[in-house]
Structure 1
């Protein structure tokens, strides 16, 4: 645990993938800062997506990992976006043990049109649809699902809407992704991605300071509803104002550590950072899991899956691993 006195001695290690928890007790705020480097690059290198899709998936990965860290995950958390946009599906899931993985499905021609348009907000690739968060904490707990509509805005905006509707905890989120190009004399330039995010939540001990108006019965959060909300707490107003000063380049600056950034924001109130939690990428696919899925298929569906070589080939959408099975393994007794 680190406080204002020795925070200046800390620096951001290159290639580190971590979540840094912090607290500003004077303002009743807790939060997380996530930094993704090597793990993110391993995932994106396998997929070879267009840059705009890679950037969107990187944002989703940072958001998912922050969400998982905020709920003390013991099982699995999945963030899934489905839309009518150029990117029709976006999935990131993270397990308490085993790391995170990510994948996307998209229309190549529509993504190319987006890239040619010069649009910089990659959230627009999602169009209209639904963003869902699913938490599975274990065998003996109920699965939780929360949903929010997508309307072509940023993932940050969708996340804020989710917390307003589902959690009703004052929350502020920032996401940033950068491309890093390095060149050594006589060698071709190397390319890497970095994603960072910051999430702060207002969690006062007094429940009265969290008082919020119930959501309308029709679920429509319009100007009338917003006008009737209680006045926000002064401490939370201060935090929001500070978070809104954070520029994208500060979140992804390799020379500016997460600790230094937090100190810049909250040194007057006093910020406390805790031990960072490492983040790894990893896929949970396995031959027995794929086999179990194939066993549930009808004979007709299995027959349609047989290749010209007489095998059944299955490729994991997350890690690209290829599995080959003999159709005879799944023959149903007559």
Structure 2
């Protein structure tokens, strides 16, 4: 009798534990902005049959570029496939891109816009490529047999709000639904990437894009930001030339990329905080419209 009761208690404990492991994984995704962004974008792109243009990169593109607006401007279907912090690790970024490729006919993608703050805020590049074993939220992934958090830890957490649907059909962020914007935001500072950082950026991104979207032209944009002063145009021109030289060298050294077309498009910066969502790289819906329009104009006039 006692033995049978003990077995039932053990079975009940194991059942509850396994259930919590699964539940905690769901909650870790549903209550975290980065995870929820990734999950909802994968869900949205599975609803679309054909994509002509993609936006990839980090959170500056999540907040501040609009695939819906690009669709209107080009009369072709676009999707915003950028994710927070570029997935935190490039390993995660590649997994996400593979999910995108598996959901569409990647050979029909004609243009990929790559927007990364790593080009203008060089400290963002540190550790990006070498990290392993982290989730899209930047946290260490637990072994499969352990929960993301304890039940009591989750209950006592200040960040246990389950995010609603906040990604549009085009993959754009719905700022109001996500409730991520604040009035906080100070001007940023430009930190041009070093040659080594540019090489690392190109070595990671160009093969990732070209191998998955073989017919796509790549537009590398130098993202606009909220700044206090206009950048020195001569220094910016020199930086663009340096970036283009590294790209040309990379293509010349990779025969498989001989047909790859890559252009560099600097964007205009902004000097009013009314465009901000929560920092100098993240724009609100109004700022996103301005930036997307300006980027498209720069691409057309290139």
What's the TM-score, normalizing by structure 2? 0.23
What's the TM-score, normalizing by structure 1? 0.21
